[in-house]
Chain A
């Protein structure tokens, strides 16, 4: 009986599947988008004039001068437009309901993915600036901060839909002034949090690594005892040390806030002592001074393009930082670290052609392919190549011109920002707002008490003669 049911079911399911396939077959190309007549800046293999990009199921299916699409494909005519990969910000604090867990010097247990805010308007503003993927970092208040999050700016979608599912785990470290001064202004009598010096920062990280190693050992001993057939009590899971142990196993990448050459070298040496590498140095203002050491260690650099002198440890910054490190073979990216800069991110990259003569493609990679490499996501984002996610920006001019602006931003083949649609909608939004305000004005008191001051009224009819209704 059961068997017959199973067979029947499988036939039914099979039939349904076939029907669905047939339906798709009826509409070949309904899942296709063709962008044509564009100037395509691929970020990986040069510029294609009058080129086309075919998108199928959210992925780039073909790029080149001669691309064929099905008859049903949606066509976007991009005559006169430039297409670049969606921009990638390797250091952002946007779309989060928190920045620092600064209460302790090591907070490896906290995760930014727990506090993603999918309604932050900065998501939409950055989309309008061509941004498609951001690395949401913990702040720099402590030597070892929290685990970071990577999202795509799919405005209007849920947090789950924004998370990049196969993104690697990363963690924020911080060196220098921020972690050591985090509570300089603590109220009178409150003890200052350790560390208070750069030596202390090093020691804090070394101690956390050491504890992580011991924690790993505890679990290895437990697994070994189990393998011997014993039945030991499992060790207590400690989320902080578990994260530190994963850092030491290379399962969590280190992205460290840093400024000065001496501390940059310190961190690389400290990591080498524990057999691991720094994945990305963040800000890294004095990176140009120790570029050979950084290259040798194998770290990448995510920098502020041309900010300097905003604090003591930022005095020695130079705008040639990106170019010098790039020429040394370091994977360099530019980051925003700012809701505002992130909106015109592409312009920052353009500056680097001026300071140090980077080529156009080298400069573009600073905000596309290179941050993708740093986030280990270059297999799916960062350039316009077949097989990658269709995260694309259509600009009305070259991205390095200050007169250019994104017209359309798409993520995985779906349009999340369209300037024309936006302008059309604007009047409706203005009207909606006006109506809502007017509606409130008409009934200024939203809540009216239903109950006027009640008077106390006896409701008992005492001594009802017959006690019957």
Chain B
């Protein structure tokens, strides 16, 4: 079934691909018709993950699937040959917990009633608190927004499959497992929904407004779901003479969760967050996975005893930028920074099942670099590789399709110039669903790298002296959603970056205005703007963090804070 699904669209897309000559890999002059979509990668060191490493191996790919793999196998006559002599081929890497490709669902901003925008604004501000982050029925599939370039940076790091979900609120959404290709979202989905993702961030402007509130809210939601199940079971069994229960989208969405059919992924970082999550899961007998868990090295044995599965974040804590006196940091914080890379080794030693995730990593290319740091910190190299390939495939129930180079599996492959954990190794190509994709330079380097800096004559942007995060890119057009009390409000932020200073404008339902005092340090940006509503000045300050193509933060209006998140509008060039 699944195999068939990829076949047709794949052919169409590849034909289009060839016709449009966008690919640099296939030279336009040599475009010719092939009988099927068959490739043969030859001459490479093939790291199959589940079997032995094959020197000078051949991988044959047809119709999106791996047809054959071995040392001495014939190359079909219709296959296009990729000479990968001297290269190393890996199965595509998983990122087991991210928020790639998501544009928060924007509900249309209520049109101002009448002609008085101030009234409309007040109406918006006084509306009942937002339900964003409180609805378990929200699915990530509805929020996926993928273009050709959306996953450029991930592919440059060899990441071909991801579990993606937003990371705000309590019920953060039902996640999706997707291939990071260039197709439309529908064609990329491997499994959706996979899990219900839960975080411990309280909603703004209403209940729950605190961490204890979040737990009470979660507990009540699951109790209500149990009651709903009982109510409907009774009604379905004997409807005659019985009152028909009410239908609830939210409680219906929680049924697979309370029945243990759909796992919950808890978004955690500290030890006590992990323990609270597990305590809660046990209270309701939930199937669960622990994501993030950067402090899990402290409780590896506990996690083993609980038989927990960890989607371990490779986003290691970093020294805050602009820290003048390092003495002012607590020893505990310094220890946590020193210990975080050891987490994977600790979990492995304790026998805890885990897979790597990028967590809140700003630059996808750090994913492999940080996995290499985990190896330096004691994790066996083959385990690190498995934590990016076969382990996540097993955890997500995809080990029949992905996670290794084996006959019949989906042709998600990485062609690298050598051992992936070695510093100078580069990813040359990735293949996703049997489609060979070229690698574009990561956007960060395109825009603030030496070239861009030289061209624009940036101040202070000397490559190599800047801390890595400051390369984070603000320039471009951002589509934002602000969680105002009346629900998400869409706006567009256009930024120009010159070193650390930002200029641009923001376009909101209440008008477009320039931004002031725009600054970016590392990946953290601040700016403010003033909306003019019928002669009334309404100053708003914003503070945010850029995370690849995603942005999130807070806007402060008249002493109230509202969180916002958004994505970068894909570059058209």
Interface residues of A (CB under 8 A from B): 97-104, 107, 109-112, 114-119, 121, 138, 146, 158-159, 185, 187-191, 233-234, 236-239, 429, 432-433, 436-437, 439-441, 444-464, 467-469
Contact = CB atoms under 8 A, between A and B. Distances in A.
Contacts of B441: 453-455
Contacts of B316: 446-447
B13 interface: no
Contact of B429 (A104, A455, A459, A464): A459
A111 B216 contact: yes
Given A104-B207, A469-B56, A114 B25 contact: no
Contacts of A112: 212
A456 B27 contact: no
Given A459-B25, A468-B75, A449 B369 contact: yes
20 contacts: A97-B272, A101-B210, A109-B220, A110-B213, A119-B332, A236-B224, A433-B334, A436-B338, A447-B316, A447-B370, A447-B468, A449-B365, A449-B468, A450-B372, A450-B423, A456-B439, A459-B87, A459-B429, A460-B80, A462-B30
Which are the 8 A-B pairs with shortest beta-carbon distances? Answer: A461-B83, A103-B209, A110-B212, A103-B207, A114-B215, A101-B213, A436-B334, A109-B216
B208 interface: yes
Contacts of A460: 25-26, 80-83, 436
A209 B467 CA distance: 58
Given A187-B560, A460-B82, 20 more contacts: A103-B210, A117-B272, A119-B272, A138-B212, A187-B558, A188-B558, A191-B126, A236-B224, A237-B223, A433-B331, A436-B334, A437-B326, A439-B338, A444-B467, A448-B468, A451-B156, A451-B426, A460-B80, A461-B83, A467-B77
Contact of A429 (B82, B272, B331, B423): B331
Contacts of B157: 451
Nearest to A190: B126
Interface in B9-67: 24-27, 30, 40, 42-43, 56, 58
A225 to B, nearest CB: 14
B337 A440 contact: yes
B30 A446 contact: no
Given A448-B369, A461-B82, A462-B30, A469 B58 contact: yes
Nearest to B415: A459
Contacts of B276: 114-115
Interface stretch (B226-234, B404-412, B505-513): B226-234
Interface string B301-325: 0000000000000001011000000
Contact of B223 (A116, A191, A239, A457): A239
Contacts of B79: 467
A82 B231 CA distance: 63
B530 to A, nearest CB: 16
A454 B439 contact: yes
B517 interface: no
A116 B270 CA distance: 13
Contacts of B422: 450
A101 B230 contact: no
A456 B207 contact: no
A117 B440 CA distance: 45
A171 B425 CA distance: 60
B327 interface: yes
A185 B558 CA distance: 10
Given A118-B272, A447-B316, A467-B81, A437 B122 contact: no
A469 B467 contact: no
Contacts of A450: 365, 368-369, 372, 422-425
A266 B208 CA distance: 30
B168 to A, nearest CB: 18
Contact of A458 (B25, B125, B560): B25
- Residue of B209, B338, B560 with most chain A CB atoms under a 10 A cut-off: B209
B220 A440 contact: no
A458 B327 contact: no
Nearest to A462: B30
Interface string B354-396: 0000000001011011101100000000000000000000000
Contact of B24 (A102, A447, A451, A456): A456
B435 to A, nearest CB: 13
A101 B216 CA distance: 10
A118 to B, nearest CB: 6
Contact residues of A: prevailing secondary structure: loop
B258 interface: no
B84 interface: yes
A98 B272 contact: no
Contacts of A453: 441-442, 445-446, 449
A190 B427 CA distance: 54
A95 B83 CA distance: 61
Nearest to A188: B558
B196 to A, nearest CB: 20
Nearest to A450: B369
Nearest to B558: A187
A458 B27 contact: yes
Interface string B330-343: 11101101100000
Contacts of B56: 469
Given A459-B84, A459-B429, A115 B318 contact: no
B206 interface: yes
B114 interface: no
Contacts of A97: 211, 272
A464 B436 CA distance: 18
A454 B416 CA distance: 11
Contacts of B129: 103
B83 A115 contact: no
A187 B270 CA distance: 33
B201 interface: no
- Residue of B79, B129, B223 with most chain A CB atoms under a 10 A cut-off: B223
B125 A189 contact: yes
B216 A187 contact: no
A458 B446 CA distance: 20
B21 to A, nearest CB: 13
Given A114-B212, A114-B215, A459-B82, A189 B122 contact: yes
A103 B213 contact: yes
Given A459-B25, A467-B81, A436 B209 contact: no
B252 interface: no
B234 A233 contact: yes
B486 to A, nearest CB: 12
Contacts of B348: none
B428 interface: yes
A449 B366 contact: yes
A97 B26 CA distance: 57
A107 B213 contact: yes
A243 to B, nearest CB: 10
B24 A187 contact: no
